[in-house]
Amino acid sequence: MSTVLVTGADRGIGNALCRAYHARGETVIAACLEESDALRALGIRVEPGVDVTSDDAVRGLAERLANSRTSLDLLINNAGIAERDALGALDYDAIRRQIEVNTLGPLRVTEALLSRLEPEARVAFITSRIGSLGDNRSGGLYGYRISKCAANMVAVNLAHDLGKRGIAAVVLHPGMVATAMTFDDERHEARSPEDAAAALIERIDRVEPTEPGAQPAFWHAPERTIIPW
């Protein structure tokens, strides 16, 4: 049995990941922005108030884990936001917000929890295909693309530093998923959060212990293909 911590567990993919890991017997810590009575009712440890943009909140989480002598076999940086935008009407504060959550959030959380990671732990980053430079064929979505592209760099950079400790990193696209993040008109072709969580878990299960200098891969989890950076 392993211990898994998921950020952004209030709803969507993060919530489904918590339920799926719990259902197969792992010890799950759901790091939520708010409370989650529903996850608590399942017996999942809920850590409310974990805003990944807040140094104090993330430090507080690290302290509570240390005080309860909790160490992690798997950290999943899932929390994210997406704000629609268009050239000619860009909102630079919105772009900054997305960078705070999507780019600096996973860095802040991973750095704060370094001492909680087991020697052969894994760290997963749920970024997005939309952050791929090589796969960008349509433009638009400036804030989300920039923040997720930079999140990929955060993940690769951390992978090198984590690899020196034997900790493996993996970068994951969950596919298009019907959550609060997706538009109504996108949802009919989107997979459920439960299906996305199952595909992510299957990929994370395959991550091998790492060697120093190893490059992580950027996986389209449901399609089992590699996405160009």
Question: Which residues contribute to the site for ligand NAP (CB under 6 A)?
Answer: 7-8, 10-14, 33-34, 50-53, 78-82, 101, 126, 128, 173-174, 176-177, 179-182
What is the C-alpha to C-alpha distance for residues 176 and 150, in angstroms, rounded to an integer? 20
Here the tokens at position 1 are 């049995």
Closer CB to ligand NAP, residue 12 or residue 163? 12
- If phi > 0 it is left, if psi is from -120 to 50 it is alpha, else beta; for residue 12 that is left
What is the C-alpha to C-alpha distance for residues 211 and 126, in angstroms, rounded to an integer? 22
Closer CB to ligand NAP, residue 33 or residue 94? 33
Best CA proximity match to 118, nearest among 2, 1, 8: 2
Give start and end residues of each alpha helix (H) in 42-124.
55-67, 92-98, 105-112
Bridge partners (DSSP) of residue 121 are: none
In the complex, minimum distance from the CB of residue 100 to ligand NAP, in angstroms, rounded to a whole number: 7
In the complex, minimum distance from the CB of residue 213 to ligand NAP, in angstroms, rounded to a whole number: 27
In the complex, minimum distance from the CB of residue 129 to ligand NAP, in angstroms, rounded to a whole number: 7
β-pair type (225-226, 3-7): unpaired
Closer CB to ligand NAP, residue 7 or residue 210? 7
In the complex, minimum distance from the CB of residue 212 to ligand NAP, in angstroms, rounded to a whole number: 28
In the complex, minimum distance from the CB of residue 102 to ligand NAP, in angstroms, rounded to a whole number: 6
Closer CB to ligand NAP, residue 33 or residue 214? 33
Residue 68 makes CB contacts below 8 A (sequence gap 6+) with none
Beta strands in 127-187 (DSSP E): 168-173
In the complex, minimum distance from the CB of residue 44 to ligand NAP, in angstroms, rounded to a whole number: 14
Closer CB to ligand NAP, residue 64 or residue 165? 64
Closer CB to ligand NAP, residue 109 or residue 168? 109
CB count within 10 Å of CB 34 equals 11
Residue in the structure block whose two tokens are 């104090």: 56
